Amino acid sequence: MPQAFTSKRAAIYQDVPDEKWNDWRWQLSNRLNHVEDISKVISLTESERKALNSSGLFRVDVTPYFISLIDPDDPEDPIRKQIIPTAEELNSFTAMMEDSLAEDRHSPVPGLVHRYPDRVLMLVTTQCASYCRYCTRSRIVGDPGQTFNRQEFEMQLEYIQKTPQIRDVLLSGGDPLVLAPKILEELLSRLREIPHVEIIRIGSRVPVFLPQRITPELCDMLGKYHPLWMNIHVNTPNEISAELEAATDRLTRAGIQLGNQSVLLAGVNDCVHIQRELVQKLVRIRVRPYYLYQCDLVPGAGHFRTPVAKGVEIIEGLRGHTSGYAVPQFIVDAPGGGGKIPVNPNYQLSMSDHKIILRNYEGYITTYEEPLEYKPHDPKTCHACQNKRPEVGQKGITALLDGEQMFIKPEGFDELHNRGGLQHRLKDENKWKPLGIGTEDSSEQKISD
């Protein structure tokens, strides 16, 4: 049997009764965010004290459970670096961008990002159980006064309902699993009522920050809305505890497919041996490594960035050295809204019209002979080609760049579109066309109160 994962509890929490410690509401209400409280758990450095005492810092909050995973006397602890700010966070770095992924530009209604043809990102809260220091959405996340409200949810759902090419909806934020259970279930049930929504996904770090939240009741509720997928966010092997293993076990037994998205962070996990241990432990708890992200160009996170070549090196050190399903894709989320771009080691050395020269992970070079005759399928007679799903394509989201709008303008949009930093920088805000892309109906679509 593999060695069992362990539980840890910081010394200050040793006398907390188990019924409180294992209560997710207790964990949330006892999060640490002030230098005085955090210093009771770990020995802070001068750099950390300076950052924690600074004004204008991105929100600090950490659950008692998660801070207990830190070695209190190790300033280089990889979990510590993710959640405890340092003075480096106060520095400005070149190439940093407030909205590096251009999500605002692809947001037709508040909180909804439509960047790809068949799927949308639905931001449902600005709150998290704890806050990562490299947060991509630090421009909107963390402010309890700037979260999304019911009117904005209605706008998001109406847009999805009126856009038939959307087959995949990703709930994110913030973290959807910190929503009140009734609100989360209402959103899931409303999405399931839309016939063309095939897949619902949830992006969450709650199983990692707050595994106590993954209760049997929550899993039973989530299990009613299949097919439902969830990507969690584990960056280092140190984060995989007995509590996380129990949480993923409950989720997978509820039929929820789990993947992991990690971020490549300097001094945290920029090591092929750490990454190999991480992915192998993830598959042990039935979580498939999905993406390894290059750190985004987020203000205050410049000290976490690595060269892209480091990510390629790590994938090179995983491919062939561990199971194929344990190797994530290395992704650069292109600045300016270019989307996710996979970056891989070069295994194809050359290609001609009749053969390809390839190498394997050991450096072994081989030749693959191309077929002498190839009769491709005919798109004109192909059933799949003739009945393909309508694409957003050139007349959809990319039309934003040309100033041509294919989105609805819901009631109250003018008052709400700046909420949470989601600023819609449109060339002509009066140029609104029907939501049904490609239709001839020119009547303006609205959401009633």
Identify the pLDDT of residue 92: 63
Tens digit of pLDDT for each residue in 97-152?
555 554 556 678 988 999 888 999 999 999 999 999 999 877 778 787 778 888 99
Best CATH choice for the domain 104-345 from the list 3.90.1150.10, 3.50.50.60, 3.20.20.70, 3.60.9.10: 3.20.20.70
Question: How many secondary structure helices (H) and strands (E) does the chain include?
Answer: 15, 12
> What average pLDDT does this structure show over 158-173?
95
Contacts of 58 (CB under 8 A, 6+ apart): 85, 89, 131, 133, 135, 138, 142, 300
pLDDT at position 75 is 96
Annotated catalytic, 135? yes
Q: Which of the following is catalytic: 135, 139, 205, 305? A: 135
23 catalytic residue (yes or no):
no
Catalytic residue among 31, 81, 119, 201: 119
Of 109-113, 204-208, 390-394, 425-429, the range with the highest mean pLDDT is 204-208
For the chain, domain boundaries? 11-79, 104-345, 346-375
pLDDT at 380: 87
Q: From the candidates 162, 284, 340, 359, which is the catalytic residue?
A: 340
pLDDT at 82: 97
Residues in Cβ contact with 336 at an 8 Å cutoff, skipping those fewer than 6 apart: 100, 102
- Phi (first) and psi of residue 185, to 5 degrees: -65, -35
Residue spans of beta strands (DSSP E) within 189-323: 199-203, 228-232, 257-264, 288-294
> pLDDT-based confidence at 392, cuts 50/70/90?
very low
Q: Position of tokens 């060695």? A: 3
Identify whether 116 is a catalytic site residue.
Answer: yes
Instruction: Name the residue with higher pLDDT: 1 or 447.
Output: 1
Amino acid at 230: M
What average pLDDT does the chain have? 85
Question: Is 132 a residue of the active site?
Answer: yes
Q: Where are the beta strands (DSSP E) in 75-227?
A: 112-116, 119-123, 168-172, 199-203
Helix, strand or coil for residue 301?
coil
